Amino acid sequence: MAGSKRETVKLGDEIVERGPQGATHQVASPGAPVLTTQQGLPVSDDQNTQKAGPRGPALLQDLHFREKIFHFDHERIPERVVHARGYGAHGYFELTDSLADVTRAKVLSEVGKKTPAFVRFSTVAGSQGSFDVARDVRGFAVKLYTDEGNWDIVGNNIPVFFIQDAMKFPDMVHAVKQEADRGFPQAQSAHDTFWDFASLSPETTHMLMWIMSDRAIPRSFRFMEGFGVHSFRLVTAEGKSTYVKFHWKPKLGMQSVVWNEAVKINGADPDFHRRDLWTAITNGDFPEWELGVQLFDDEFADKFDFDILDATKLIPEELVPVRRIGRLVLDRMVDNFFAETEQVAFCTQNIVPGVDFTNDPLLQGRNFSYLDTQTKRLGGPNFTHIPINAPKCPFHNFQQDGHMAMHNPKGRANYEPSSLDRGPRESPTAGYTPFQEPLRDATTRERGALFADHYSQARQFYISQTEPEQTHIKNAFVFELSKVEVPAIRERVVSHLLNVDEMLAQQVAQGLRLEKIPQAAPPARPVVSTLPESPALSIIKNGPKSFAGRKLGVLVTDGTDATLLSGLMKAAADEGTLVELVAPAVGGVKTTDGKLVPAGQKIVGAPSVLYDAVVLLPSADGAALLNDEATARDFIADAFAHAKFIAYVKEARPLMERAGVGPSDMDAGFAEIRAGGDFAGFLTTCRDVRFWDREKRTHTV
């Protein structure tokens, strides 16, 4: 057949096979599989449709073409209505401290046991193809494949939520997503409808403080906390309940980017967070979190200033310490993104015996929504048959049929009780029994009285931040509200902020140039202004203890000092820091020892926003070559503006001046590296992540 004739040709340094139509293939290795249709029919030609003659019309009888295009046409499934953009990885959970005294859940009782896990991180508002570093909450959804069934902790990187009652979820999501008429903005809360809804819903105030903080622009999934958000219950075999809040604490400490960086990262690398997780795991640098629990009883719940059923409130760690009971390690990327990350179906209703729900009205609404949405998204009730969703423990039931049924009951009796086959039976002892909570009240749509306090914890969050963090919150409000077109909405937000912190409200009003400060919104309950600072709420106070897992961007040119470069590589390896060489060409640079050192990036594609700190190691000639390269100047100017630590050799100084960083700008965030340079000292300084004092000089409006 004409279509299958092949000849061998040389392409670059490779020998390849070329078909008559010009497409080239690697030379087939012996025993390589033959391409087939989905029915297993071997394919002779995958390049050309069947036609009536070489120039003739295509023939409908081409079954291979029809099957291929039909399948392609059906490749997409509905994206998640929220959390559409996400990234998942496999790993395990290992219990280090038993909770057997408060729960019958085996996964929380057997110390040392490793339970397989799958985690999906996500942004909330953006579509699947949006960018990673949006200002947004991050989803932190964990599926634990326990011996007693799948347990999903479907949480976020922020411990509180926008709303108190699931009834408001569709409104809140409609408001934050693209506006209904114009279909934009994408993956942003900085627009009228979001702030309109938020400013008319004072219960959002606490969450607004969090999403205007740097928590909403994490440096990486690896550097953020996770929270189960709601109060759940742990229950013993005897039916005794203890309330619990779940926390995931990152081993690497917390770290965020700054807003101007986020804006630029999204252009330079929209997959910044995905790439980070992929790189870390494929390099064997497995990210890890500790599972922490806050345990408390009814007596605490009754005395607490807030309702523990209200998901807009948290329990300060200083009041109920977080007990660390296990570790979650992510050590394997998926084999196929669609099969696993896209098809994974988290459901808050997936719990195990010994874990139970509370009457939190947000949680109870979620328990309906997740199952429902998977049916739509994954096409039917058998989404649990997809390998990523199937339990890893034995499971038996009489549910049958439906689209794509993969696990089908065997035998005659597909029901119980039955006397015909010895099928699965219920177990009053092993089975899940709901916590027996007495029901007291008459049917109502009211909320608990304490739910009406919307400002006290918002204030507590704000006063717990360091000065740079407070400035970032203020700047974020000003940025977002400056994108809001309706002045009344801007004023309404300020009227709520007056109940949080008067100075903050004034600064935001000033940043927006409001002519007069509006009146404070009347609080539905008096604001408790005596809540003490909670250091656990600050990122900077809980930052890294080392520079491990972070990335250095090193500007090199021909003539870069080979000894300095190898000293830097060694110091970075000792600290566990990744190094990426940024050069005029990706092929690399010739260092002083005459060797060609390959680069990781060409300067035009590697702005310094992609790195946690930078090192400028050009030769004098190399620096002169870059003098008129705008991206090289931006590299330095941005590193300076983003308060990064900068190490440099004296040869870099003219280029630094050209970038607007002269001798009078050199602060303690700079380190000059001389012959035999001390990179270890520089990397120790980098543990502080940024030289925050500089920000006051670089961001003045």
181 Cβ contact partners less than 8 Å away, ≥ 6 residues apart: none
- Smallest gap, in angstroms, from Cβ of residue 340 to ligand HDD? 11
CB of 126 to ligand HDD, least distance (A): 13
Backbone angles phi, psi at 155, to 5 degrees: -115, -170
**CB closer to ligand HDD, 309 vs 609:** 309
Listed in sequence order, the DSSP H helices in 100-157 are none
**Nearest 5 degrees, angle CA 422-CA 425-CA 426?**
175
Q: Give the DSSP H or E segment for 205.
A: helix 205-211
Can you give the length of the chain in residues? 701
In terms of CB distance, is 154 or 212 closer to ligand HDD?
154
Which is catalytic among the residues 71, 90, 150, 156? 156
Distance CA 71, CA 375 (A): 21
Phi first, then psi, for residue 673 (nearest 5°) are -100, 120
Shortest Cβ contact with ligand HDD: which residue?
Answer: 139
Closest to ligand HDD by CB, 189 vs 374, is 374
* Catalytic residue list contains 150: no
Q: Where are the beta strands (DSSP E) in 335-464?
A: 355-356
Residues 6 or more apart in contact with residue 251 via CB below 8 angstroms: 287, 288, 289, 290, 327
Nearest distance in Å: CB 330, ligand HDD: 14
φ, ψ for residue 636, nearest 5 deg: -80, -45
| 472 part of the active site | no
**Cα–Cα dist 128/18, whole Å:** 37
| Sequence-distant (≥ 6) Cβ neighbours of residue 493 within 8 angstroms | 195, 198, 199, 208, 477, 481, 508
CA separation for the pair 477, 488 (Å, rounded): 15
Task: Determine how β-strand 646-648 pairs with β-strand 613-617.
Answer: parallel
In sequence order, what are the residues at sequence separation of 6 or more whose Cβ sits closer than 8 angstroms to the Cβ of residue 429? none
- Residue among 362 and 489 whose Cβ is closer to ligand HDD: 362
Q: Which is nearer to ligand HDD, 310 or 469 (CB)?
A: 310
Give 155 or 354: the residue with its C-beta nearer to ligand HDD.
155
Please state the closest distance from residue 487 (CB atom) to ligand HDD, in A: 31
Nearer to ligand HDD among residue 155 and residue 253 (C-beta):
155
Query: Measuring CA to CA, how many Å separate 330 from each of 117, 121, 286, 437, 615?
Result: 8, 12, 6, 37, 30
Annotated binding-site residues read 80, 120, 169, 366, 370, 377
Task: Report residue 261 CA to chain centroid gap.
Answer: 17
Question: Closer CB to ligand HDD, residue 118 or residue 670?
Answer: 118
CB of 345 vs ligand HDD, minimal distance in Å = 6
Alpha carbon distance 4, 28 (integer Å):
14
**Among candidates 583, 585, 586, 587, which has minimal Cα distance to 560?**
583
Kindly tell me which of 106 and 385 has the beta carbon lying closer to ligand HDD.
385
- Note the Cα 358 to chain centre separation in Å: 27
Burial level of 689, CB count in 10 A (0-12/13-18/19+)?
A: buried
Nearer to ligand HDD, 366 or 496 (CB): 366
Annotated binding residues for heme, as ranges? 80, 120, 169, 366, 370, 377
Task: Identify residue 569 by its one-letter amino acid code.
Answer: M
Least Å distance, CB 492 to ligand HDD, is 24
Q: Interface with ligand HDD by CB under 6 A: which residues?
A: 80-83, 86, 120, 122, 139, 141, 154-156, 161, 166, 169, 229, 311, 344-346, 362, 365-366, 369-370, 373-374
* Minimal distance, residue 194 CB to ligand HDD, in Å: 16
How far, in whole angstroms, is CA 279 from its chain's centroid?
A: 15
Count Cβ atoms within 10 A of the Cβ of residue 320 and give its class: 0-12 exposed, 13-18 middle, 19 or more buried. Answer: middle
Long-range contacts, stretch 198-201, CB < 8 angstroms, 24+ apart: 198/162, 198/493, 199/489, 199/492, 199/493, 199/495, 199/496, 200/492, 201/162, 201/163, 201/168, 201/172
The Cα 17–Cα 10 span in angstroms is 9
The DSSP call for residue 342 is I
**361 or 549: CB nearest ligand HDD:** 361
Q: Which residues contact 502 (CB under 8 A, 6 or more apart)?
A: none
State the catalytic residue, choosing from 25, 64, 71, 83.
Answer: 83
- Encode 478-496: b = buried (16+ Cβ within 10 Å), e = exposed: bbbbeebeeeebbbbbbbb
Rounded to a whole number of angstroms, the minimum distance from the CB of residue 123 to ligand HDD is 10
Strands 241-250 and 232-235, sheet pairing: antiparallel
Tokens of 583: 């050069």
Minimum distance from CB of 287 to ligand HDD (Å)? 17
Q: Which residues are catalytic?
A: 83, 156
